[in-house]
Structure 1
Amino acid sequence: MIERTSENDAGNGNVIPVTLDANFFFERAVRSLDRFQYDKALKNFRKAVEYEPENPVNHCNMAGILSEMGNYEASNDILTHVLEKIDPAMTECHFYMANNFANMESFEEAERSLMTYLEEDARGEFMAESEELMELLQYELNRPAPLVRIRSREGLVEHDRARSLLEEGKFPQAVKLLEEIVKNTPDFLAAHNNLALAYFYMGRFARAKECLSEVLEQDPGNLHALCNMAIFLQYAGDKDQLAALLRMLEATVPFHQEHVFKMATTMGILGKHRTAYGHFRRLLKDEEVGGDAGLYHYCAAAASNSGLYSEAVRCWRQAAKLDPESAVPKFFLSQLQLAQAEGRPMAPVSYNYQLPFQEQLKQWKDNTDRFTEEVRNNPLLRASFFWALRYGDAHTKLQVTEALRWIEDEEISGALQGGPQQEPLQEEALLNLQRLIGGSPDEKPAPKGVQQTAAPSHKGPPEWKEDWQRIIDHTVGTMDRRYDAVQKKAAELLWRQFIGSLYPDVPLFRHDGGWCAALEYLIAKLHGHPVTYREAAQRYGVSVSMVSRYARRIQSECGVGDNGAEAGILPPFTENI
């Protein structure tokens, strides 16, 4: 038997000195728990609370014992006391209460406590358990939980949505979402990298490089940012900086699967096909992804572009086995066999796991319904078309525009309007756009001086106001003699898109000259006319800062870029967490 000690017998060697404190009773409670003696454990936890009434852990331990004993209401009373009187920051108490309510079959209360936990807890210690409990509650309540956000996964859900938008080619929407994410979580580097890609897709190259520079300031070795920067430098034609960065990347051997794939695709885009082939070969040895037909195509493309034709044949044959319904491996195998029979090198092969655009058009020419379904249901194909429309050569753009004529939807209307066009594409694209927003496909651009009433759009304002038309008239009148009819029509369509994107919250335009100058500046840039903010400002009698500010506003709403670049394959894939 353990006895209490006093000062008189402290020196007696036959008595063990014991300090009665919270730790003493805590240890006794744990020993009782190990023996499943819940009554004794509860008694000792109560004593620990008496010694340290301000220690929330002791209270929670006592609540846990009561829960194990089936006394859920008493357990929740203690947890409520902890949150209200002792430590409101102990957000895990909400999770414990949710479990108690669920055991009491009070599912509404359980849901409220669980939502509070997920929305307030920054560590996410019980995330896996919360997901299981949420599934139970959804089943019992026969509806999904009204979850607004998960604090421990701040921005992750939104980031996944933004990545999906990028992969679907919905670049302006992705930019808005990613800008909000990086504003709220500045250290979320994956979101910064994907925002840089989104700007790049839209032709806003300077802003894209700024995003990457911000990432590299925080993490100089960030592989995604370094790879993206290399691609941006190639499109900008900065050979010196690119050469230095390439030397470093080629000497890098990434370890993680996602980093290996990022490096492989980047090397392919940069034309370093032999290096890309080495990385793709490493991925094929990974059991998790090695059975993917698309990966075998990537490896085959890298091998073929490197002159390793026997390896390319082997990979395409394996891709055909893994994906027997796909025409892609069979097409490239036949092309390679034809090239070898004629004694010539194989033409460059795109890394995209799809047929070349020309070949797709042949197959879809007599089956427009199938084409429409493919483009609507295949985000990669859709994004490829949008990329080609914005950055392909004039011949490719004309073909893409002709193909997209078969599909009528809001996003394609924006794509036809948003990119830089060149003759003879300009008129064709504008006519298609005019048809999509309500005009006739056979209409020609309006002759000089002829005003047109806006056709109603399914997303725009039902009534076109006089002050909106006044800005078009002023702009087109000032552009006269220096721009052709197609370019003036482009200015009108861009302004209509801008109004449509703002509606119904269209502001009162107080500075007509500033908006006119911004509109002309953007059209000049899109059509390759040399113009500066200062020149546009002087032409309309406004300040340079006003032109710059209004042009950025139109760019932001309409997704209009500054300039284009030729693209052999799609830019790099988006970054996961």
Structure 2
Amino acid sequence: MIERTSEKDAENVNVIPVTLDANFFFERAVRSLDRFQYDKALKNFRKAVEYEPENPVNHCNMAGILSEMGKYEASNGILAHVLEEIDPSMTECHFYMANNYANMESFEEAERSLVTYLQEDEDGEFLAESEELMELLQYELNRPAPLIRIRSREGVVEHDRARSLLEAGKFPQAVKLLEEIVRNIPDFLAAHNNLALAYFYMGRFAKAKECLNEALRLDPGNLHALCNMAIFLQYAGDQEQLAELVRMLEATVPFHQEHVFKMATTMGILGKHKTAYGHFRRLLKDEEVGGDAGLYHYCAAAASNSGLHTEAARCWQQAARLDPESAVPRFFLSQLQLAQAEGRELPLVSYNYQLPFQEQLKQWKDNTDSFTQEVRNNPLLRASFFWALRYGDSSTKLQVTEALRWLEDDEMSEVLQGSVEQEPLQEAALLSLQRLIGGIPEESATQRTLQESAVPGHKGPPEWKEDWQRIIDHTAAVMDRRYDAAQKKAAELLWKQFIGGLYPDVPLFRHAAGWCAALEYLTAKLHGHPVTYREAAQRYEVSVSMVSRYARRIHQVCGLPQDAAAAEILPPFTENI
């Protein structure tokens, strides 16, 4: 017997209407996917397509399920239908098809679809994934892809090349390439900024300011352009405009990591050390870069230059812990402690992560008179010579004795006489002493001494250690597919030359990935490959400053050609995308 519901009871019944539409079946499909019920998910996505046949997203969802089920041909059939009949602007379908073809081992078809995606997609949503797939296809097909351009990175490859030229000191070539970029892509702000820098380095200040003004016209708040303009105004001596711009910059609190670093270094260059210190302190809290010894040195320099001696000491102590192979933090820490003991201020500290005399090496070769004057007037620079001769490794000591040849100084003569007894400094010290007391300087002989010290067979290690070999192996593995066998062999020989130059004072390489990145960077430079510190750092997941520092160290020991070792100019100089 069926019991009837009274009218009163009927009023209390909650009736939830069910609307059968595309959204209903989409939600059911998603729930099925969460339970890995692909058949049910496919069925519900098909129902969603029936309700909204002109919606390309529903079709792509169905193609995605088919791909997960291993039905690659059916998936590509749907994707082709979307491109031909529904929405040709859904360029990501080409990327999905490329993956399907790759899974089917139809590598030629996969390459065609991937190239089409890269040439037509404006947003670059799957750019990183595409680069990985392209590497796979190049390996499988044993040839590079016939890629003409990447639409979402239009101008970027050329800009990276221009940055490499700029950082190598090839300013006219950089200008030519950057001018072409801004002509073709007028709103490419990074190119405008780097073109301004190229003109600035060439002494064409009017053109440099013109480029910055154009960047600021396009984006009045562009931090890179504003910081570069401040540096330009300082060099030009325009104190009125500079003061107004600095007030604005000091009131700015950048958010992005690169902008914070740009602001910090710019403030350091402008002599606003307390402001620089505040920004460097912010960077130390960033997990991505906070463990870098170079950054702690920058922070220590800003603190010391601001009179914050306790904070400076703390930062140099941390830098020494993070980078025990480097003499830089230990030197500045010792000088700070000595200054405090004597009740005096430490002279202004450079932000460069080098010993003071190392910064001057290029300058003294070009102008020995100014170098001699600088050593006499700069107590920190003078102290770095004495300190390096006492505590530095053999390569650093050789650099000092080479430099001191050009100084007419009684105190330096005494220092060099003490160095004559040290090996392998004896020949270089004797030649330097000869120069100081009026003898004939044999430059080629000293240079030979420097080079011989870096030859693996010249008093080299009696046995090859496992941790040294691991660096070669890891570098070769990462270099694989981008470099040929000869270039990988060159990296191995360069590392062996470096170890030979250090022996017997070979340190423990705690940051192996950083040394690998530096090794690849220098090998690429030696073979004419366009590469930046940032690219090398990203490959090995280390900081840019670590790659820069280690590359300079390898260069110093091995005596590489200057072009291969041109220091990469970091912000606040060149700008990334």
TM-score norm. by structure 2 comes to 0.56
1:316 aligns with 2:312: no
Q: Distance in 1 between matches of 2:134 and 2:522?
A: 31
Does the CA-based 8 Å contact 1:299-1:312 persist in structure 2? yes
Partner of residue 37 from structure 1, selected from 37, 40, 44: 40
Does the CA-based 8 Å contact 1:45-1:62 persist in structure 2? no
Q: Which residue of 1 aligns with 2:400?
A: 362
Partner amino acid, structure 1, of 2:247 = R
C-alpha spacing 1:364/1:331, structure 2 compared with 1 (3 Å): farther
Q: How much does 1:121 deviate?
A: 0.9
Q: How much does 1:158 deviate?
A: 3.5
Q: Distance in 2 between matches of 1:78 and 1:284?
A: 50
Q: How much does 1:235 deviate?
A: 0.4
> Which of the pair has more CA radius of gyration?
1
Q: How much does 1:117 deviate?
A: 0.7
Q: Distance in 1 between matches of 2:70 and 2:563?
A: 58
Q: Which residue of 2 aligns with 1:420?
A: none
C-alpha spacing 1:340/1:363, structure 2 compared with 1 (3 Å): farther
Q: How much does 1:170 deviate?
A: 3.6
Q: Which residue of 2 aligns with 1:294?
A: 294
C-alpha spacing 1:61/1:204, structure 2 compared with 1 (3 Å): same
Q: How much does 1:314 deviate?
A: 2.7
List per-residue Cα deviations over 1:35-91 (Å, max 9, x = no partner). Answer: 533674576477558xx5x76556555655654554433443444354345543332
Q: Which residue of 2 aligns with 1:92?
A: 92
The 3-state SS of whatever aligns with 1:175 is helix
Q: Distance in 2 between matches of 1:135 and 1:407?
A: 31
Q: Which residue of 1 aligns with 2:467?
A: none
List aligned pairs for 1:202-217, cutoff 5 A.
202-217=202-217
Q: Distance in 2 between matches of 1:31 and 1:354?
A: 62
Does the CA-based 8 Å contact 2:49-2:55 persist in structure 1? no
Q: Distance in 2 between matches of 1:313 and 1:220?
A: 39
Q: How much does 1:288 deviate?
A: 2.7
Partner amino acid, structure 1, of 2:293 = A
Q: Which residue of 2 aligns with 1:348?
A: 348
The 3-state SS of whatever aligns with 1:220 is coil
The 3-state SS of whatever aligns with 1:111 is helix
Does the CA-based 8 Å contact 1:56-1:86 persist in structure 2? yes
Q: Distance in 2 between matches of 1:233 and 1:574?
A: 17
The 3-state SS of whatever aligns with 1:362 is helix
Does the CA-based 8 Å contact 2:192-2:211 persist in structure 1? yes
Q: Distance in 1 between matches of 2:131 and 2:306?
A: 48
Q: Which moved more, 1:321-330 or 1:337-346?
A: 337-346
List per-residue Cα deviations over 1:146-173 (Å, max 9, x = no partner). Answer: 4443222333344344334433434334
1:220 aligns with 2:220: yes
List aligned pairs for 1:240-251, cutoff 5 A.
240-251=240-251
List aligned pairs for 1:367-382, cutoff 5 A.
368-369=450-451, 377=522
The 3-state SS of whatever aligns with 2:313 is helix
Q: Distance in 1 between matches of 2:303 and 2:73?
A: 67
C-alpha spacing 1:133/1:276, structure 2 compared with 1 (3 Å): same
1:303 aligns with 2:303: yes
Partner amino acid, structure 2, of 1:313 = A
Q: Distance in 2 between matches of 1:94 and 1:134?
A: 14
List aligned pairs for 1:522-541, cutoff 5 A.
none
Q: Distance in 1 between matches of 2:195 and 2:340?
A: 43
List aligned pairs for 1:364-403, cutoff 5 A.
364-365=402-403, 366=428, 368-369=450-451, 377=522
List per-residue Cα deviations over 1:483-535 (Å, max 9, x = no partner). Answer: xxxxxxxxxxxxxxxxxxxxxxxxxxxxxxxxxxxxxxxxxxxxxxxxxxxxx
The 3-state SS of whatever aligns with 2:354 is coil
Q: Distance in 2 between matches of 1:213 and 1:274?
A: 28
Q: Which residue of 1 aligns with 2:178?
A: 178
Q: How much does 1:198 deviate?
A: 2.4
TM-score norm. by structure 1 comes to 0.56
Q: Which residue of 2 aligns with 1:265?
A: 265
Q: How much does 1:231 deviate?
A: 0.5
C-alpha spacing 1:335/1:60, structure 2 compared with 1 (3 Å): closer
Does the CA-based 8 Å contact 1:234-1:270 persist in structure 2? yes
Q: Which residue of 1 aligns with 2:162?
A: 162
Gaps of at least 5 residues in structure 1 are 1-16, 384-402, 416-568
Q: Which residue of 1 aligns with 2:380?
A: none
Q: Distance in 1 between matches of 2:351 and 2:109?
A: 53
List per-residue Cα deviations over 1:325-364 (Å, max 9, x = no partner). Answer: 1121223234344545555432222111112225575255
Q: Distance in 2 between matches of 1:29 and 1:299?
A: 54
Q: Distance in 2 between matches of 1:144 and 1:295?
A: 39
Q: Distance in 1 between matches of 2:308 and 2:277?
A: 10
List per-residue Cα deviations over 1:416-447 (Å, max 9, x = no partner). Answer: xxxxxxxxxxxxxxxxxxxxxxxxxxxxxxxx
C-alpha spacing 1:328/1:94, structure 2 compared with 1 (3 Å): same
Count how many residue pairs are aligned between Structure 1 and Structure 2.
378
List per-residue Cα deviations over 1:238-279 (Å, max 9, x = no partner). Answer: 111001111111222223222222111111111112222222
Q: Distance in 2 between matches of 1:303 and 1:65?
A: 58
Partner amino acid, structure 1, of 2:400 = K
The 3-state SS of whatever aligns with 1:253 is coil
Does the CA-based 8 Å contact 1:264-1:280 persist in structure 2? yes
The 3-state SS of whatever aligns with 1:37 is helix
Does the CA-based 8 Å contact 1:26-1:44 persist in structure 2? no
Q: How much does 1:201 deviate?
A: 2.2
C-alpha spacing 1:86/1:238, structure 2 compared with 1 (3 Å): same
Does the CA-based 8 Å contact 2:190-2:575 persist in structure 1? yes
List per-residue Cα deviations over 1:204-250 (Å, max 9, x = no partner). Answer: 22121111111211221222211111110000111110011111112
Does the CA-based 8 Å contact 1:29-1:40 persist in structure 2? no
List aligned pairs for 1:546-561, cutoff 5 A.
none
Does the CA-based 8 Å contact 1:300-1:312 persist in structure 2? yes
Q: Distance in 2 between matches of 1:246 and 1:191?
A: 24
Q: Distance in 2 between matches of 1:32 and 1:270?
A: 60
C-alpha spacing 1:323/1:276, structure 2 compared with 1 (3 Å): same
Q: Which residue of 2 aligns with 1:187?
A: 187
Gaps of at least 5 residues in structure 2 are 1-16, 33-38, 362-384, 386-395, 404-427, 429-448, 456-493, 499-517, 526-531, 533-555
Q: Distance in 1 between matches of 2:298 and 2:42?
A: 65
Q: Distance in 1 between matches of 2:30 and 2:317?
A: 62
Partner amino acid, structure 2, of 1:327 = A
Partner amino acid, structure 2, of 1:118 = L
Partner amino acid, structure 2, of 1:152 = S
C-alpha spacing 1:363/1:259, structure 2 compared with 1 (3 Å): farther
Q: Distance in 2 between matches of 1:407 and 1:137?
A: 35
Partner amino acid, structure 1, of 2:216 = L
Q: Which residue of 2 aligns with 1:281?
A: 281
